[in-house]
């Protein structure tokens, strides 16, 4: 078992082995401490290191975060690739801005409520039990909403991000190799709704999620995130963004006009009079032995008020058929009758 303590620091600092008093002064002024990949499994008392700002403890065997209450000036803490199962004992690190906890066995993001200056949280690729996903404590997420800018949750079996919508300061979001997919409602994607709450987002990586296979996935995210510069490792061209924004606006405008047209109704009034649809219909009733009154005009049309000249049969001179035309009509009628008679005789035979 290897514990991180003052003696271990002294052994690694050969220059101060023979000068113990000077070594104490060295520890008090120490700002960076790197003990990565040293098989360390626990942290002992390091309270003498009052000015420590950066601590590297990645690639070790640490199971618990403890004995860091002294490090009130710590700004960077690297503890990825250990055996940590719970985020705890960090409330005194008031100046901590970057926390690296990837590659551990953490199941819940919690215990960060007091870290008001935390801007980066890297908690990717946790060794989770089969069938489980990384969870987020609502109180912790809410407390980070005013400071957190970078969030890395790659490879954590996450299938929805609605709890992260309150992180309005996010500029970088990494959630690759998860299980994010769209909602059942075909008109609205959960991911689009959440990302619309992050107006400062500049870079996002969602590669390896089912949602990436949806039609117009990239186009929708680009139009929602107006400041997005990089999506899934591909740079976003400003000309392309403006084209998509204009296309979306045009599509919405056309849809609005179509909806408005669909709401127009045409009331039917009782004073509509039905009659001949063509104002210049000819009256052949004389030649069929029947006389019918002339009816011209459509509803709403203005008709002549002056008297119309007609002959004794009630037909306008302009509508009177010539004798030759009458004979043609009569001949056509007789031919039709003859053909019908011949067909009938043939049928009876």
Burial of 172 (0-12, 13-18, 19+ CB in 10 A): middle
Q: What is the mean pLDDT of residues 92-116?
A: 96
Tens of pLDDT, residue by residue over 33-86, are: 999 999 999 999 999 999 999 999 999 999 999 999 999 999 999 999 999 999
Q: What is the mean pLDDT of residues 272-283?
A: 47
Q: Integer distance in angstroms from the first to the last C-alpha of the chain? A: 119
- Given this chain, do its domains 1-127 and 158-249 carry the same CATH topology? yes
Phi, then psi, of 107 in degrees rounded to 5: -105, -20
Residue 321: what pLDDT?
Answer: 55
Helix residue ranges per DSSP H, 198-322: 217-224, 238-262
Residue that wins the pLDDT comparison between 21 and 132: 132
Other beta carbons within 10 Å of 245: 14
Phi, then psi, of 243 in degrees rounded to 5: -60, -45
What is the domain class of 158-249 according to CATH?
A: alpha beta
Answer yes or no: is pLDDT of 252 > 90: no
Look at strands 230-231 and 234-235 and give their pairing. Answer: antiparallel
**Comparing 49-63, 96-110, 206-220, 234-248, which segment has the lowest mean pLDDT?**
234-248
Residue 324: what pLDDT?
Answer: 63
Helix residue ranges per DSSP H, the chain: 6-12, 20-29, 138-143, 190-195, 217-224, 238-262, 323-348
Tens of pLDDT, residue by residue over 134-153, are: 999 999 999 999 999 999 99
What is the domain class of 1-127 according to CATH?
A: alpha beta
Q: Say which residues have a Cβ less than 8 Å from residue 63's Cβ, sequence separation at least 6.
A: 41, 42, 82, 83, 84, 85
For the chain, the structural domain boundaries read 1-127, 158-249
Burial of 340 (0-12, 13-18, 19+ CB in 10 A): exposed
- Percentage of residues in the chain with pLDDT exceeding 90? 52
Tens of pLDDT, residue by residue over 308-339, are: 565 556 555 555 556 666 666 666 766 666 66
Lookup: tokens for 15: 């220059």
- For CA atoms 108, 112, 113, 117, give the dihedral sign: negative
Other beta carbons within 10 Å of 285: 15
pTM of the predicted structure, to 2 decimals:
0.69
């Amino acid at each position: 078992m290897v514990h991180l303590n003052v003696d271990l620091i002294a052994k690694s600092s050969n220059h101060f082995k023979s000068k113990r008093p000077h070594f104490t002064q060295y520890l008090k002024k120490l700002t960076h401490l790197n003990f990565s990949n040293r098989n360390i499994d626990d942290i002992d008392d390091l309270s003498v290191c009052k000015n420590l700002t950066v601590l590297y403890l990645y690639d070790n065997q640490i199971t618990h975060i403890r004995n860091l209450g002294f490090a009130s000036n710590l700004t960077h803490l690297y503890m990825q690739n250990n055996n940590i199962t719970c985020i705890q004992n960090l409330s005194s690190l008031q100046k901590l801005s970057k926390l690296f906890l990837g590659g551990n066995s953490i199941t819940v993001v919690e215990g960060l409520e007091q870290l008001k200056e935390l801007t980066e949280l890297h908690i990717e690729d946790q060794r989770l039990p089969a069938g489980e996903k990384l969870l987020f404590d609502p109180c912790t997420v809410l407390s980070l909403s005013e400071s957190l800018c970078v969030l890395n949750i790659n490879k954590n079996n996450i299938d929805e991000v609605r709890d992260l919508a309150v992180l309005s300061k996010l500029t970088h979001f990494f959630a690759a190799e998860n299980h994010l997919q769209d909602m059942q409602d075909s008109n609205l994607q959960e991911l689009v709704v959440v990302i619309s709450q992050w107006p400062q987002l500049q870079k996002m990586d969602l590669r390896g999620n089912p949602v990436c296979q949806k039609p117009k996935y990239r186009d929708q995210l680009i139009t929602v995130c107006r400041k997005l510069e990089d999506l899934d490792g591909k740079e976003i061209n400003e000309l392309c963004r403006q084209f998509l924004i204009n296309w979306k606006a045009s599509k919405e405008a056309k849809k609005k006009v179509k909806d408005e047209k669909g709401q127009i109704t045409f009331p039917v009034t009782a004073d509509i009079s039905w009659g001949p649809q063509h104002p210049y219909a000819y009256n052949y009733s004389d030649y069929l032995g029947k006389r019918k009154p002339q009816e011209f005009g459509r509803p709403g049309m203005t008709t002549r008020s002056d008297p119309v000249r007609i002959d004794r049969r009630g037909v306008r001179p302009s509508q009177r058929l010539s004798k030759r035309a009458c004979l043609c009509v009569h001949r056509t009628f007789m031919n039709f009758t003859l053909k019908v008679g011949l067909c009938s005789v043939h049928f009876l035979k």
